[in-house]
Structure 1
C-alpha cells in the first residue's frame, strides 16, 4: 500500500511539472492529497479488507490514512456489504462473504469531507487453479550465479485465454549461530545494580531456531490470451541464489494465483512500470493509469489512485529442504554473516560515574554469551556480551514454527 501511495504521489507531481523547461524545486509545488484505494474481493468466503489513504509528498515517509469513511460494496441483486474501520484507513467487511459468478459488484466510498466515490461494475472472472509448484536449480547467466527457481503451472482449461496475477508468502527456517541456554535478567536498574544469570525458558525463548515470513513486494503478471490454450506453464515466481540463508535449512512458499480481467491487468502493468526507477520520468502520465474508481461529482478534477479488483483466487504451498538438492557440506551465506557480529564486550556493573554500562548494554541490543575465561581482558566486567542478533535469531522471526509448518 505504501508503494502505491508513493508512486501515486510521484505521478501527480509529474503532471504538474510536465512540459516545464526550467528546473522546479519539488518542495515548492502545491500538493493535493488524492484518494488512494486498495480494494480486492475474491471468491474466498471471508471478511475482506479495503485500505484507504491519501497521496503523500515525494519527500514524505509517513502514510496518510483516510479515516472515518463509509465504505460498502453493492451487487446488482440489491445486496449490501458494509465495511467498518478496524485500524486507521483499514476497513473490514462486517460479515463473511465471497464474490460470486454472474453478479456485478460496485465499490462505494463516502469520505468524512463529504465527497463520494464509486467504481464501475466488476464481475468475477472464471476460476482456474494452480496445478503444480515446482522448484529446481538453474543457472542465471546474467548474474553468473546458480539459483533455486520456483515455477507455477495452472490447470489446463477449455476457456479462452485469461489474465493472471501472482503473490507469494515465504517462510524459512534459520538457526541462531551462537546459542546459549543462559541469559542475564535485570533485577535492579538503580543502585545497587543487580543482574543474575538464569536459564532460558524453552516455552518462551525456543531452542535456537526461528521462522521468518516475508511477503512478495513485486508485481507478477502473465496472460494466456496470446497462447493456443488457457494454461500457465513454468511461470517463475521466485528466484533465490543457492548460497542464500533463506534456502539454508528448510523453506516453504505459499503462492496465490489471481485470475483477473484485462482492465485490472492493464492497471498492474502500468503500476509495475512506474515502480521501476528508470521509468519514473517516462512519458506516461497519471491520467493513463487505468482506475475504475472516480469521484461522483468531480470525476476529472479529483482523480482516484488505485483499483477495485474482483478476482478468483487459488493457492498452493510448497516445502523443500536444502539437503534435498545439495550435500550437507555445500556452504551458504548465513544471516549472521550479513550483520555486524563484533568481538565480545565486558561492561562493568557500575563505573566511576555511578552508571551501569552492563545494564545499558543489555537494553541496547547486547546479550549474554559465555567465552573462555583466558580471553577476558583485565579490568573487565563479570559478563561477556555479544550483539543480540548473533545469539538470538528472534530479531528476524518467531522462535516457533507457524501452524502450517511440517518437517
Structure 2
C-alpha cells in the first residue's frame, strides 16, 4: 500500500502542470510525515493487527527486492519501510468495549486479546502517535456474509496469451448486503534445491587482513539442518475485487483469483493456495478501486486528476492530508486448494528453476587485504573463502581438474544448494502430500 500511495502522490504532482518541475519529495516534510494505516478487522476470532508507517522517499520505488546470488540477503521490507513506533492503538465498538493493541514489532500492533467483529456492531479505530497526534476512522460494520463454496484449478490462457493454471472460486450468499467483494490469497509451494549435496562449507578463524598471508580454516562438513526441501510462501500483492450487483446472478461462478504461468517454478512440485473472500462495503470498494486504478500505468495520462486518495481515516484536529489508509470491517470466508504440476502437465518437463545453477569453481584463498604496495587487477573470481564468509555459495563436490583461477572445490550459488535461502525448512501444519 505504501508504494502505491507514494506513486499516486508523485503522479498527482506531475499531472498538475505541463512544465517540468522539481517535485522535491525528499525535502517535503509534509509528505514524509503522512501516516499510513493498514488494518482490516474480520469476523475471525484471533489477535487482529494494525500496521502503521510513515511515507518514505521515492528512492524506495527503485530498489530491486529480487534475490541476487552475488550479494548478502537482507530484509528489504524491514530495511526500507519507516514504521511508526510507540503509538497508542485501540478499536472501540458501539457497546463501549475497547480493544487495546500492543506493538509486537516496530510499527506492527496486535490486539491484547483475541476477538471477532460481530454482525450488527460498529467499530472505530483510534490511533495516537508518539508525537501526540490523534487519528480516528469512521464507524465501520460487517455488511453481510457469503461463503466460498468451491475452489478449483483449471488450465487456462491469460489475457496476454500465456498458458497456465487459473485458480477459480464459486461462492454463495448467506445474509445481509453482499455486493462488494475483495479477495486475497496466501500461497505455499514446495521447493527442492536442484544442486543440494549432503555436505557444505564451514569457515572458521578467517582473517582476510592477516599478514603475510590470509589465515582461515575451511572444512567440508555434513549439513546440520534440512536444506533440500523447503516451503515458499507468497501473499497476494494485487487488488482483486468483484461486485455482486454487476454479475446478474445470486452467486459468483468461476471467478478467477489467481493465474499462474505454466513456467512459474512455484508449481514445479506441489502447490497450495488459500483464498480469502472479504465482504466489504461501497466505501471500501471505492478506495481499493481507486488505489488499483492509480497504480496502473495507463492512468498516468488520464484526464482525471488523481488528487489525494481519500480513505476513512482523518486527523482529530481537522488537518487535511496527514493520513492515508482504510480501516475495513469485513466478514471472511476461506477455502484451500492443493495441486501438483503433473496433475495438469503430466508428460512435460518441470518449470525451470528461477536461478542460474551452473557449477563453479574459484581459488580457495586470496591475497591479504592489508598488503602494501601496488597490485594489479585480479583476473580470477572472488575466492571461495570470501564467498563462504558472505554466505553466497553451497558446496557440491571436489574439483578434480584444477587449473588457472580454479580451486579444489566445485560450488553453486547458495540458492541452488540450500533451499532455506528462499523458503522455510519447516513443513506447514496444514500441508498434505
Normalising by structure 2, report the TM-score: 0.83
Give the structure 1 partner of residue 21 of structure 2: 24
Query: Which residue number corresponds to residue 197 of structure 1?
Result: 220
**Cα RMSD, aligned residues only:** 2.6
> For 1:224, which of 240, 244, 253 is the aligned residue?
244
Q: Is the 8 A contact 1:347 1:380 kept in 2?
A: yes
**Alpha carbons 1:170, 1:252 under 8 Å: kept:** yes
User: Secondary structure of the equivalent of 2:140?
Assistant: coil
1:120-135 correspondence runs (5 A) = 120-135=138-153
2:128 equivalent in structure 1: 110
Shift of 1:259: 0.6
Matched, 1:68 2:86: yes
Contact 1:161 1:226 in 2 (8 A): no
Aligned in 2, Cα 1:345/1:266: closer, same or farther, shift over 3 Å? same
1:233 aligns with 2:268: no
1:1-400 alignment, distance < 5 Å: 4-16=1-13, 19-27=16-24, 30-32=28-30, 33-60=33-60, 62-140=80-158, 142-157=159-174, 161-190=178-207, 192-201=215-224, 204-206=225-227, 208-285=228-305, 289-299=309-319, 301-327=320-346, 329-335=347-353, 338-349=354-365, 357-364=383-390, 365-370=392-397, 373=400, 375-377=401-403, 380-400=406-426
Q: How far apart are the structure 1 equivalents of 2:171 and 2:291? A: 24
Contact preservation (8 Å) 2:399, 2:408: no
Per mean C-alpha deviation after superposition, the further-off stretch among 151-160 and 36-45 is: 151-160
The structural deviation recorded for 1:158 is 6.7
Are the counterparts in 2 of residues 244 and 332 from structure 1 also a CA contact under 8 Å?
no
Gaps of 5+ in 1: none
Please give the alpha-carbon distance, in whole angstroms, between the structure 1 residues aligned to 2:105 and 2:343: 43
Give aligned pairs, total: 395
What is the Cα deviation at residue 167 of structure 1? 0.6
Distance in 2 of aligned mates of 1:193 and 1:372: 20
1:79 Cα deviation (Å)? 0.8
In the alignment, the residues of structure 2 paired with residue 279 and residue 378 of structure 1 have an alpha-carbon distance, to the nearest angstrom, of 55
Asked if the contact 2:195–2:412 (Cα under 8 Å) also holds between the matched residues in 1, the reply is: no
Cα distance in 2 between the residues matched to 1:159 and 1:82 = 29
* Structure 2 segments unaligned to the other structure (5+ residues): 62-79, 208-213, 372-381
* Contact preservation (8 Å) 1:163, 1:222: yes
The alpha-carbon distance between structure 1 residues 63 and 284, as it changes in their structure 2 partners (threshold 3 A), is farther
Query: How far does the alpha carbon of each residue in 1:218-268 deviate from its partner, in whole angstroms, 9 at most, with x for none?
Result: 000001113444312111111112232111111111111111111111111
